Amino acid sequence: MAAVPSGRDPVDPVLSVVVPVFDEEAVLPMFAQRLRPVLDGLAEPYEVLVVDDGSRDASPVILQRERRTWPQLRIVRLRTNAGHQAALSAGLARARGAWVATLDADLQDPPEVVPEMLAAARAERADVVYGVRNDRSTDSVFKRLTARLYYRVMRRLLGGHVPDDAGDFRLMSRATVEAVNCLPEHHRVLRLVVPALGFPSTRVMYRREERAAGRTKYPLSRMIRLSVDSLTGFSVAPLRLATWFGLGGALVTALLLAAALVAFVSDKTVPGWTSTFAAVAAVGTVQLLCLGLLGEYVGRLYTQMQGRPAYYVAHDSLEDVVAAPARTAGEPTAPELTADLR
């Protein structure tokens, strides 16, 4: 059995499945159809916590419709689109389960793997179970190449504890979730934050499927943002790059000076436009790059100092359930509905 930490409410579910959703009307009915039998089959109390990340399509309507027949479905609506990682953070902050799984709504992470993860966590007494993709053949060549580069750089900078090819499909114990919730960071990159905790972990392999419907919400600009947040959130190595550039520049300058002196002494002064131009351009580029790097860290400090929340919750369907007794007689009472959620 799951070790239910003390201090939790006895009606709290054993498993919470956190699902960030942004404009996923095309895939949500399919998603519900596939996830529900898997979780019902567990024969343990669970909740599916869908974080509607400010969807502008029919996703909220579809979710409400699903909820009518699926009492374990809980919908947390964010006021505005806060981004994948922030939506996940919102879900983790509100999930009540002794175990919390996070998976995408597009069925790229097969729901059938969740029970496997739970079994692995219990059997191996692990706090974290990473879903590791052993086959990315359904991803585009560009996505595969950039993903390989991303994980390689992250492993190099952060050390071996970053599992290769583990995205945001994972199962975490309550202790892990509480630890993540306590972190003060705003631009949390969960796929790095969780391994960095260093809690006992194991992994389950799975095949990454193709997006069941709809389009990716991760255009190149968001992928770059995630990479920059990953880098600056976990390492000051990029700042040191500036020093290396500076040293390299000094060396090149010394060589150029020597060459200039030789040319001067031997009376072979050249017009020198090309070399001057190249040197100015190179120095300018390096300076801008270093300034940009500094800017990233200063920007991070600035937003951190402002202390603005990464997301705003507009509505949590769980609160309707708790508020129910105040409504008209004849409606189901709170304990009945709360029990439903188990």
CA distances from 254 to 103, 242, 290 (A): 55, 18, 21
DSSP conformational letter for 214: S
Binding partner of 24, given ligand UDP, Mg ion, none, CB within 5-8 angstroms per partner class: ligand UDP
Instruction: Please report how close the Cβ of residue 51 comes to ligand UDP at its closest, in angstroms.
Output: 7
Residue type, 341: L
Whole-angstrom distance, CA of residue 301 vs CA of residue 259: 44
Which position has the token pair 């939506």?
87
Residue type, 20: P
Interface pattern 80-109 for Mg ion (x via CB under 5 A): ------------------------x-x-x-
Instruction: Please report how close the Cβ of residue 240 comes to ligand UDP at its closest, in angstroms.
Output: 30
Judged by beta carbon, residue 39 or residue 226, the one nearer ligand UDP is: 226
Judged by beta carbon, residue 120 or residue 190, the one nearer ligand UDP is: 190
Q: What is the DSSP string of 85-140?
A: HHHHHHHHHH---SEEEE--TTSSS-TTHHHHHHHHHHHTT-SEEEEEEEE-TTS-
Interface pattern 58-77 for Mg ion (x via CB under 5 A): --------------------
Contact 103, 19 (CB under 8 A): yes
Judged by beta carbon, residue 210 or residue 336, the one nearer ligand UDP is: 210
Judged by beta carbon, residue 23 or residue 106, the one nearer Mg ion is: 106
Kindly report the number of other CB atoms within 10 A of residue 76's CB atom.
Answer: 25
Number of residues located near Mg ion, criterion CB under 5 A? 3
Instruction: Please report how close the Cβ of residue 67 comes to ligand UDP at its closest, in angstroms.
Output: 18
Judged by beta carbon, residue 143 or residue 342, the one nearer ligand UDP is: 143
Kindly report the number of other CB atoms within 10 A of residue 85's CB atom.
Answer: 22
Judged by beta carbon, residue 82 or residue 121, the one nearer ligand UDP is: 82
Whole-angstrom distance, CA of residue 254 vs CA of residue 330: 87
Determine the length of the chain.
Answer: 342
Instruction: Please report how close the Cβ of residue 78 comes to ligand UDP at its closest, in angstroms.
Output: 9
Judged by beta carbon, residue 23 or residue 104, the one nearer Mg ion is: 104
Interface pattern 107-126 for Mg ion (x via CB under 5 A): -x------------------
Judged by beta carbon, residue 38 or residue 260, the one nearer ligand UDP is: 38
Whole-angstrom distance, CA of residue 34 vs CA of residue 105: 11
Q: In 3D, which of 116, 263, 85 has the Cα closest to residue 180?
A: 85
Binding partner of 130, given Mg ion, ligand UDP, none, CB within 5-8 angstroms per partner class: none
Instruction: Please report how close the Cβ of residue 68 comes to ligand UDP at its closest, in angstroms.
Output: 22
Contact 338, 322 (CB under 8 A): yes
Binding partner of 127, given Mg ion, ligand UDP, none, CB within 5-8 angstroms per partner class: none
CB burial of 116-131 (b: ≥16 within 10 Å; e: otherwise) equals bbbebbeeeebbbbbb
Instruction: Please report how close the Cβ of residue 219 comes to Mg ion at its closest, in angstroms.
Output: 12
Instruction: Please report how close the Cβ of residue 140 comes to ligand UDP at its closest, in angstroms.
Output: 10
> Which residues of the shown chain bind ligand UDP in the complex (CB under 6 A)?
20-22, 24, 53, 81, 83-84, 87, 104-106, 108, 216-218
Instruction: Please report how close the Cβ of residue 31 comes to ligand UDP at its closest, in angstroms.
Output: 9
Taking only Cα atoms into account, the Rg of the chain, rounded to an integer number of angstroms, comes to: 25
Binding region for Mg ion (CB under 5 A)? 104, 106, 108
